[in-house]
Amino acid sequence: MEKNQYELCVKVLKRLEKAGVLKDVILIGSWCIPFYKEYFAGIKYISAIKTRDVDFLIPNPHGIKVNVNIPELLKDLGFIIGYRGAKGYIKLEHPDLVVEFLSPEKGRGTDRPIPVPKLGVNAVALRFLSLLIDNVIKVKVEDFEVLLPHPANFALHKLIIFQRRFKEEKAIKDRNSAIEILKALINKGETNTIRRVFGSLLPKWQKKVIKGLEEAKEREILSLLSVGVSTK
């Protein structure tokens, strides 16, 4: 199943790339982790448990230029539209993968999906996603490139959101993958990148990261972050 999942994910990415959409979206969520393997080549790095959910972050839903109906684009692969919740969030479902679109929450926020008519979908607005847009890397997959949040941003974002999870097991999964990635970055000699990304966060967000690391009893990482960065 895992091989099928990966192959299907690459097919989806390839179609989005051909349609000119891939440059407008960032792959986030647990599916980033297998694609970070290239970034961490030669570094001890364990791929965390991933679900079927492939999340695409649309940084600017109203700024998309191309007109591509994504449900139609993926229809012949067997994807169907699934509506979730009373507000009708769209998910594109396949037994091996579920594609979902997210967007950073702005202002006071909304519980309604953000329509993305140019792509024929809608996006779930969530807090803290701007952290994943600020620092993006490109990873080569076959003959095209995929945008991913920098692993430091990915990990610090996970450290913030795991504390907001309702389900404890999901929180543990997020926390573990964040720590795994931070350790891989330290082994890669990117301690300064972690510090720099941490330093660029709002003080409120920094406090949440510190709280998350304290909960996880990760003293080594805590000591790295506390050098030269005030969280008070």
Partner 1 sequence: MGVIKGVLKEELENSIRMKSDYERELSKLPKGSLIKKKVKGHEYYYILLREKGKVKFIYKGKVSDEEIKKYREVKEYRAKYRKLLSQVKKQVRFLRSTLRGKESI
**Residues within the interface to partner 1 (CB under 8 A):** 49, 51-52, 76, 78, 80-82, 84, 93-95, 98, 167-170, 172-173, 176
For partner 1, which is the closer residue by CB, 96 or 145?
Answer: 96
For partner 1, which is the closer residue by CB, 27 or 48?
Answer: 48
For partner 1, which is the closer residue by CB, 61 or 113?
Answer: 113
Type of residue numbered 215: E
CB of 49 to partner 1, least distance (A): 6
For partner 1, which is the closer residue by CB, 104 or 212?
Answer: 212
CB of 82 to partner 1, least distance (A): 5
Distance CA 168, CA 65 (A): 40
Q: What six digits make up the tokens of 164? A: 């907001």
Q: How do strand 80-84 and strand 53-57 relate by DSSP bridges? A: unpaired
CB of 78 to partner 1, least distance (A): 5
CB of 38 to partner 1, least distance (A): 25
CB of 172 to partner 1, least distance (A): 5
DSSP line for the chain:
-HHHHHHHHHHHHHHHHHTT-GGG-EEEGGGHHHHTTTTTTTS--PPPP--SEEEEE-S-GGG------HHHHHHTTT-EEEEETTTTEEEEE-SS-EEEEEEE--TT--SSPEEEGGGTEEEEEETTTHHHHSSEEEEEETTEEEEEE-HHHHHHHHHHHGGG-SSHHHHHHHHHHHHHHHHHHHHTT-HHHHHHHHHTS-HHHHHHHHHHHHHTT-HHHHHHHHTT----
For partner 1, which is the closer residue by CB, 217 or 232?
Answer: 217
CB of 173 to partner 1, least distance (A): 5
For partner 1, which is the closer residue by CB, 46 or 80?
Answer: 80
